[in-house]
Amino acid sequence: LKKPKRTPSFTTRRRTQSFRKLQKLEQLDQLPPVEIQGILDRKHELQSGGKKAAIRSWKTLYTVLCGQLLCFFKDQDDFVASKAATSPIIIFKAKCEKAEDYTKRKHVFRLCCTDGSEFLFLTQNEKEMEDWVNKITFHAQLPPSLQLLSYDDSRKESPTSERLLPLNTGDGSSSSAASTPELTRRRSSSNKQNNLPPSSPTAKPPVPPRGAPPPVPVRTPSTESMSSQPVVQVRQRPGT
């Protein structure tokens, strides 16, 4: 007797894995713009209001900076699936700097929020720590309407904008028009006018310098006036 043929079976495991991979890529495209992300060790030092946190042990979290939100996940897969491990931190106007006073571990920076809460973050090296500090500080100082502005893009645009700005100096020597002879002459004339004392409405007109008085004109008798006078004839007496 021939053995019956085995019924063929199909597995969908590979198809499921491919589908999940494709779905993961689609979810990555729908995520908001991320400034920086990576695995950090976090320690909660102070709660809101400045009180000591109940649990201050180090915890490894997949940390993501998106705008003015510092989010935390168990790993990258949970980040793609939007499964947060704990509440995010609002970094608006927060202070971020290297934790110089913390000597137990290296490459640690501190984040102080406006509500009084405080966190410590442990990085792998000095360069990574500076990268996190610079980008968190950059986004913390932005207005909320510009919180999604990229740190790298702003660094690329800043040198160009500085070159386009006019160079302002205290003596005004940056402008070529300021050193022209015509403008110098006008300024000199204006300064002379400004140094003159102000005129008063009751001031008297200036008195001219005294000198010799002008000669008085002398009238001479004219011929016409002499002819108009009557002529007196003197008769001579006889015998004289």
167 in any annotated domain: no
**What is the radius of gyration, based on Cα positions, of the chain?**
50
Q: How wide is the angle at C-alpha 62 spanned by C-alphas 19 and 55, nearest 5°?
A: 135
In a domain, 122, yes or no: yes
CA distance 70 to 136: 9
Report if residue 230 sits inside a domain. Answer: no
In a domain, 45, yes or no: yes
CA end-to-end span of the chain: 217
Question: pLDDT value at position 145?
Answer: 92
* Matching residue, tokens 């060790």: 41
| Residue 67 · residue 149 · CB < 8 Å | no
Q: What is the mean pLDDT of the chain?
A: 74
Asked if the structure places residue 17 within a domain, the reply is no
Does 143 score more than 80 pLDDT?
yes
Domain that holds residue 89: 35-153
Residue 92 in any domain: the answer is: yes
Number of domains present in the structure of the chain: 1
Q: Please report which confidence band the pLDDT of residue 162 belongs to, taking 50, 70 and 90 as the band edges.
A: very low
CATH number for the domain that contains residue 78: 2.30.29.30
Structural tokens at position 65: 């900076």
* C-alpha–C-alpha distance, residues 64 and 45, integer Å: 20
Query: What's residue 161's pLDDT?
Result: 41
* pLDDT tens figures, 94-119: 999 999 999 999 999 999 999 999 99
Average the pLDDT over each of 28-32, 51-55, 160-164, 198-202 and give the range with the smallest value.
Answer: 160-164
Return d(Cα 84, Cα 66) in angstroms, integer: 13
Give me the residues paired with residue 111 across strands.
96, 119
The top-scoring range by mean pLDDT among 9-13, 126-130, 181-185, 223-227 is 126-130
- Average pLDDT in the 180-209 region? 54
Mean local confidence (pLDDT), 62-79: 95
Nearest to 38 by CA among 135, 140, 155: 135
Degrees, nearest 5: CA angle 194-198-204 = 140
Residue 100 lies in a domain: yes
* Segment 20-42, tens digit of pLDDT: 555 554 555 556 689 999 999 99
E strand or H helix at 13: helix 13-30
**pLDDT at residue 192 above 80?**
no
pTM over 0.75: no
In a domain, 95, yes or no: yes
